[in-house]
Amino acid sequence: MMSQVGEKISVKTPEGEYPIFLGKGLLDLDPLPALAAQVRASAVCAVITNPTILSHHATRVIDSLRAKNFQPCVIEIPDGEQYKTLDTVRKIYDQLLGAQLDRRSIIFALGGGVVGDVAGFAAATFLRGVPFVQLPTTLLAMVDSSVGGKVGVDHPRGKNLIGAFKQPLAVIADTDTLATLPIEEFRCGMAEAVKHGIVGDAELFERLEKSKNWRAGVEDWLPRAIRVKADVVGRDPVEQGDRAKLNLGHTFGHAIEKVSDYRVRHGEGVAIGLVCASRLAARRGLCDAALGLRIEHLLRSIGLPTRIPRELATDAIIAAMQTDKKRVNAQLRFILPRAIGDVVIVDDVAREDVIATIEGARS
Ligand code: NAD
Ligand code: GLY
């Protein structure tokens, strides 16, 4: 298929900028030779992926790389959040060394957020850093995780506790890959898109409310959802200020994910977290209850969960929040909505309010 770059979005970084290419047929990797020239890339390179994505999309990537005179080695990691660990990264290092990658070898992350975060962390640390290209294949990775340079792994005590900032050379998002994505994973990406609407683009939120055709019409709204993230991380690349707002829903969401042993997917945790954040905001008088109902209505119509499963104990969720990396001086940090397109960072939430919010959001 001919590649069609529907959109090219630039993301500013402290060192310069990198492009996000978004469109159909982009796994033919047409922009690669120019990108490789920027870093004088070696021929030997690595594609990090998992067996699920390998079966759908890896042949295409490997053929494209070979056609451009690269010598790719394929590194498979097991599929699932439970493998987003330092142990997986250690096994990746072994294979990178075995394949004789050098400091100019590019690592390609072909997959969703888990592959992107793990492969990015390997790229940030292997030989003190090698070039890295994100090839996101989930909606969530296109909307959110492939953009902004946060890479890392989970620790048994909590999510994303070990990590780095590693800006990619480019993000190449081929929307054709979404054709094989299961519906529940597509919905997870929608949760992050809704989040981006609440954080900084009321018109995006309204569009998502009006459309019911999110999947078939993905090319219409996806660039807008990515731009919210690209703009925020361009202004605040290493989270000194406003970037924290992108964590809307995540203080609750990460804890719910963790306590469920990751049976609740990241996007599902974010959806429930968005509802909790809007209820907590109403409790503190930052917005009225109607805002939360509006957010909840959109999430439900997408098919996302909006209630905390009964089996996840409140105490366990509160305990999991204590390892949240947004915590400062032992104070939990919440991002709370005042309106669609307007959120604030709040550091002084009383424990009783958090407990009441969790209890009020149960199924
Ligand atoms: P994921 O990477 O686990 O992918 C979800 C599932 O979809 C997996 O089973 C995967 O194998 C499968 N899959 C991927 N692409 C497919 C395709 N095209 N066709 C069929 N199946 C496909 O989950 P995710 O939702 O993409 O990412 C969640 C992760 O991203 C979490 O670990 C979260 O913490 C992280 N995240 C990171 C950032 C960041 O800024 N770095 C931001 C948001 C989320
Ligand atoms: N997902 C939040 C961030 O990238 O900052």
The ligand 2 atom at the shortest distance from the C-alpha of residue 148 is: 4
- Distant-in-sequence, close-in-space partners of 44: CB < 8 Å, separation ≥ 6: 70, 71, 73, 99, 100, 101, 102, 105
Q: How far is the CA of 317 from the centre of ligand 2 (A)?
A: 21
Instruction: Give the catalytic positions in this structure.
Output: 128, 150, 192, 229, 239, 243, 247, 250, 254, 266
Q: How far is the CA of 111 from the centre of ligand 1 (A)?
A: 7
Contact 55, 21 (CB under 8 A): no
Tell which residue, 30, 23, 28, 91, has the closest CA to residue 59: 28
- 49-70 pLDDT, tens digit each: 999 999 999 999 999 999 999 9
- 292-338 pLDDT, tens digit each: 999 999 999 999 999 999 999 999 999 999 887 667 667 889 999 99
Tell which residue, 125, 121, 124, 127, has the closest CA to residue 103: 127
- 86-102 pLDDT, tens digit each: 999 999 999 999 999 99
The ligand 1 atom at the shortest distance from the C-alpha of residue 152 is: 41
Counting ligand 2 atoms within 8 A of each CB, the residue from 243, 248, 251 with the most, and so the one to mutate, is 243
Q: What is the per-residue pLDDT for 2?
A: 53
**pLDDT tier for residue 114 given thresholds of 50, 70 and 90:** very high
- Terminal-residue alpha carbon distance, the chain: 46
Q: How far is the CA of 161 from the centre of ligand 2 (A)?
A: 13
Q: What is the per-residue pLDDT for 327?
A: 72
Q: What is the per-residue pLDDT for 210?
A: 96
The answer to whether the CB of 154 is under 6 A from ligand 1 is no
Tell which residue, 256, 252, 274, has the closest CA to residue 264: 256
- 166-217 pLDDT, tens digit each: 999 999 999 999 999 999 999 999 999 999 999 999 999 999 999 989 999 9
- Distant-in-sequence, close-in-space partners of 55: CB < 8 Å, separation ≥ 6: none
Q: What is the per-residue pLDDT for 307?
A: 98
**pLDDT tier for residue 5 given thresholds of 50, 70 and 90:** low
Please provide the average confidence, as pLDDT, over all residues in the chain.
96
* The pLDDT of residue 234 is above 80: yes
Q: What is the per-residue pLDDT for 282?
A: 97
Rounded to an integer, the average pLDDT of 120-126 is 98
Q: What residue's CA is closest to ligand 2, atom 3?
A: 246
- 7-35 pLDDT, tens digit each: 999 999 999 999 999 999 999 999 999 99
3-state secondary structure at position 72: strand
Q: In whole angstroms, give the CA distance from residue 290 to residue 304.
A: 19
Tell which residue, 68, 168, 170, has the closest CA to residue 122: 168
The answer to whether the CB of 148 is under 6 A from ligand 2 is yes
DSSP secondary structure letters along 180-221: GS-HHHHHHHHHHHHHHHHHH-HHHHHHHHH-S-TTTTHHHH
Q: How far is the CA of 70 from the centre of ligand 2 (A)?
A: 32
% the chain with pLDDT above 90: 94
The answer to whether the CB of 243 is under 6 A from ligand 2 is yes
Rounded to an integer, the average pLDDT of 124-140 is 98
Q: What residue's CA is closest to ligand 1, atom 26?
A: 112
The ligand 1 atom at the shortest distance from the C-alpha of residue 148 is: 40
The ligand 2 atom at the shortest distance from the C-alpha of residue 150 is: 4
Q: What is the per-residue pLDDT for 338?
A: 98
- Quote the radius of gyration of the chain (alpha carbons, Å): 20
The answer to whether the CB of 117 is under 6 A from ligand 1 is yes
Q: In whole angstroms, give the CA distance from residue 286 to residue 305.
A: 24
Where are the alpha helices (H) located in the chain, listed in sequence order? 32-38, 51-53, 59-67, 86-98, 113-125, 139-140, 183-200, 202-210, 218-235, 250-259, 266-283, 289-302, 314-321, 351-360
The answer to whether the CB of 194 is under 6 A from ligand 1 is no
Q: In whole angstroms, give the CA distance from residue 51 to residue 148.
A: 26
3-state secondary structure at position 122: helix
The answer to whether the CB of 180 is under 6 A from ligand 1 is yes
Q: What is the per-residue pLDDT for 312?
A: 97
The answer to whether the CB of 111 is under 6 A from ligand 1 is yes
The answer to whether the CB of 188 is under 6 A from ligand 1 is yes
Q: What is the per-residue pLDDT for 289?
A: 96
% the chain with pLDDT above 70: 98
